Amino acid sequence: MLDKTPTPTPPTHTQGLLPPILPLLKDQPMQWLALGFKDLARAPLLSLMHGLILAILGGFITLLAHDQFWLLVGSLSGFMVVAPVLATSLYAMSRAMEKGETVDFELLVNTWTQWQLRLRHQPDSYWSLIRFGLLLGLAATGWVITSSALITLLAPAPIHTPMDFIRHVVLAKEGHLFELWVGLGGMMAVPVFASSVISMPLLLDRRVTVLQAVLTSWKAVFTHPFQMTLWAFLILGFSLLGIFSLFLGLILVVPMLGHGSWHAYRHLVDVSNLPERITGQGEL
């Protein structure tokens, strides 16, 4: 007689706990930079192409909005906040290098067009890249609205251009508006960083939802606050260096940080129990 007892369905990854966070060395973020530069050197043309595109975009934004302070701030803020999404194909390159796969232009195209196209395989993460990018865009918009309201209400004179901001806010002899503005920016940057620092590499590499990726990112930050703070300052410092070098520095900075972020994810998260997302020409 056949046993008609239904076989229990094993729990899926969406039902399980968040993946474990791995131990780190104190100077691990410096290693991520070195590994990022190593990946850049292994595929220099494709890597530097990412930086060149973002440098051209940043220069174009500045050219259009150089005399419109809040438009310039909004554009550059959005540029910085959504950078983890824009670097997705850099993560894919490092992933392919790690697996010994071919790194070419086709890989970049497939990363943006094929890895999330088949809804039936995982409906809970369909268009996860787009959804996460929209969340980051909303965060950037919130920062611009909040900071513009703060400056408009408290500045001693109207702020219309970058020079107005420098004259009446940065170099103001009375009050602490600039310090307050920087502090507010820091308070809003912390949750954005904590939510995004490893979310996109995890979404690219494993079949997880946006919520799982974000919560895992927060878990990593809480587990290693010193290393993640150091990583945040390295990202900020190199990004500002790239921007203030008339965006030319971004040609090198963007791929180095993008590849480095992949290695940060790999060193931080134990994903051995999460189903892999097969990219490129494979089944999703």
pLDDT tens, 101-119? Answer: 999 999 998 888 765 554 4
Residue 54 belongs to a domain: yes
**Any domain includes 48:** yes
Instruction: Enumerate residues 6+ apart whose C-beta is below 8 A from 223.
Output: 21
Residues 6+ apart with CB under 8 A from 113: none
pLDDT for residue 283 is more than 50? no
Distance CA 220, CA 214 (A): 10
Classify residue 19: in a domain, yes or no: no
pLDDT at 11: 41
Structural domain including 54 reads 28-268
Q: Tell me if 116 sits within 8 A of 126, measured CB to CB.
A: yes
206, β-bridge pairs: 276
- The pLDDT score that the predictor gives to residue 158 is 85
CA nearest neighbour of 111 among 279, 258, 277, 282: 279
Q: Give a yes or no: residue 1 inside a domain.
A: no
pLDDT band, residue 277 (cuts 50/70/90)? confident
Looking at residue 121, its pLDDT comes to 52
Cα 9 to Cα 6, 17, 62, 112: the distances in Å are 9, 17, 55, 33
Task: State the pLDDT at residue 199.
Answer: 92
Residue 171 reports pLDDT greater than 80: yes
- pLDDT at residue 4 is higher than 50: no
pLDDT at 98 over 90: yes
Residue 222 lies in a domain: yes
Q: Is residue 284 part of a domain?
A: no
Nearest CA among 84, 28, 90, 38 for reference residue 228: 28
At residue 13 the predicted structure's pLDDT band, cuts being 50, 70 and 90, is very low
CA distance 55 to 79: 11
Q: Determine the 3-state secondary structure of 276 from DSSP.
A: strand
Q: Report the length, in residues, of the chain.
A: 284
- Mean of pLDDT values over 137-159: 82
How high is the pLDDT of residue 89? 93
**pLDDT at residue 117, as a whole number:** 52
Q: Within 13 Å and on the Cβ side, how many CA atoms surround 139? A: 23
Share of the chain above pLDDT 70, in %: 84
Residue from 118, 95, 132 nearest 212 by CA:
132
Residue 100 lies in a domain: yes
pLDDT of amino acid 46:
96
- Residue 167: both structure tokens together: 């004259």
Indicate the range of 89-93, 175-179, 230-234, 239-243 predicted with least confidence: 175-179
Residue 11: name the closest of 273, 283, 282, 277 by CA. Answer: 273
Q: Is residue 263 in a domain?
A: yes
In angstroms, rounded to a whole number, what is the distance separating the alpha carbons of residues 215 and 222?
11
Residue 259 or residue 85, greater confidence? 259
Number of domains in the chain: 1
- pLDDT at residue 15, rounded to an integer: 44
Do 93 and 103 form a contact (C-beta atoms < 8 A)? yes
Ranges 58-67, 84-93, 155-164, most confident: 84-93
Which pLDDT score is estimated for 175?
Answer: 73
Which of 27-36, 53-62, 158-167 has maximum average pLDDT?
A: 27-36
